[in-house]
Amino acid sequence: MLTIKNLHANFEDTEILKGVTLEVQPGEVHAIMGPNGSGKSTLAKVIAGHPSYQVTEGKIELEGKNILSETPEERVQQGLFLVFQQPREISGVNFRHFLQTIHQGKILHKADKSLQEARKDKMLRKQISPVKFRKKIEEKIPDVSLPKKFLERNVNEGFSGGEKKKSEILQMELLQPKFVFLDELDSGLDVDALKVVCERVNALKNETNMGVILITHYPRILEYITPDKVHLFSEGKIQKTGDFTLAQEIEEKGYSS
Ligand code: ADP
Ligand code: MG
């Protein structure tokens, strides 16, 4: 379970999160809907451990363990993953090598072994073999409808908005997080791309019982990923929680009512 209790966080001297409380069980889908600038992306980034924000109060617990003092890398290893609203381009880093590093990191963490130790272990050596990985990723990349040749490009460099989101989804599939934050997954996506990425999220959720926190402006994405709970987020906290009908209400009346 992911538990966020009375979370307050600042950017420089401004308080942006003003007491967020949220509980997500494995396999659940929570939609967080709110106006621009209300702090939704900040919430996702604070949970991922972004160093620009200072937590001043509250707790973030993953399976009962407070993770506030952990680094972003440790949080990822323990099962959190954030799909950014605006994924970064990483020049000079080959996409296939990047994915291979993610895959390898996941295996080493699970086995609790260093790369050196893993190379001496026959089973692990096979699992982290670059040749095997190349085959695996080339089989997998069509699932997110990206051409194989993208693997030879730099991470997200020159990718369109939709392609960047697909690249993030591919990373999510390799990491198999326990909980994923999808920050405006629908922004910059056409309907076909939206369907593809939502299908991948649903497939992984069904396979691994991943919990999903979907941050969105528009209820449209909720047609593809059905939420168990919908939260109305404004002014740095959750103001109201309901089911799908709350999303419909927001669609009809806007955020101000
Ligand atoms: P949302 O995702 O709900 O649109 P954000 O979390 O991106 O909102 O932003 C909430 C508020 O915090 C905004 O007023 C924004 O300008 C401010 N803020 C968040 N992060 C930063 C940052 N890194 N630098 C400057 N202002 C920030
Ligand atoms: Mg945002």
Is 242 part of any domain?
Answer: yes
Mutate to test the pocket of ligand 1, among 8, 14, 16, 238 (most ligand atoms within 8 A of CB): 16
| 147 and 181 assigned to the same domain | no
Task: Read off the amino acid at residue 242.
Answer: G
Average pLDDT over residues 139-160: 94
| 41 and 99 assigned to the same domain | no
Predicted confidence at residue 255, as pLDDT, reads 83
Burial of 111 (0-12, 13-18, 19+ CB in 10 A): middle
Domain boundary among 120, 137, 158: 158
| 143 and 221 assigned to the same domain | no
Average pLDDT over residues 214-233: 92
Task: Read off the amino acid at residue 132.
Answer: K
231 and 240 in contact (C-beta within 8 Å)? yes
Is 247 part of any domain?
Answer: yes
Domain boundary among 158, 173, 207: 158
| 151 and 169 assigned to the same domain | no
Nearest CA to ligand 1 atom 22: 11
| 166 and 201 assigned to the same domain | yes
Average pLDDT over residues 73-99: 93
Q: Name the closest ligand to CA 40.
A: 1
Please say whether the dihedral angle defined by the alpha carbons of residues 123, 125, 127 and 132, taken in this order, is positive or negative: negative
| 135 and 232 assigned to the same domain | no
What are 168-177's pLDDT values in tens digits?
999 999 999 9
| 245 and 182 assigned to the same domain | yes
Domain boundary among 142, 158, 174: 158
| 166 and 238 assigned to the same domain | yes
Number of domains in the chain: 2
CA 41/CA 47 separation, integer angstroms: 10
| 150 and 168 assigned to the same domain | no
SS3 76: helix
Q: Using the predicted structure, report yes or no on whether residue 76 has a pLDDT greater than 70.
A: yes
Predicted confidence at residue 257, as pLDDT, reads 61
CA 42/CA 55 separation, integer angstroms: 11
SS3 150: helix
Q: Which domain holds residue 143?
A: 95-158
How close is the Cα of 37 to the center of ligand 2, in Å? 7
Alpha-carbon separation of residue 216 from 13, 46, 225, 234 (angstroms): 27, 17, 12, 12
How close is the Cα of 111 to the center of ligand 1, in Å? 38
| 102 and 84 assigned to the same domain | no
Is 232 part of any domain?
Answer: yes
Q: Is the CB of 11 under 6 A from ligand 1?
A: yes
Is 4 part of any domain?
Answer: no
Task: Read off the amino acid at residue 97.
Answer: H
Half-sphere exposure of 209 (CA within 13 A, CB side): 3
Query: Could you tell me which residues come within 8 angstroms of residue 44 by beta carbon, excluding any fewer than 6 positions away?
Result: 82, 85, 181, 183, 213, 215
The backbone region for 205, taken as left when phi is positive above 0, alpha when psi lies in -120 to 50, beta otherwise, is: alpha
Predicted confidence at residue 188, as pLDDT, reads 83
Global pTM value: 0.93
Residue 71 sits in a domain of what CATH number? Answer: 3.40.50.300
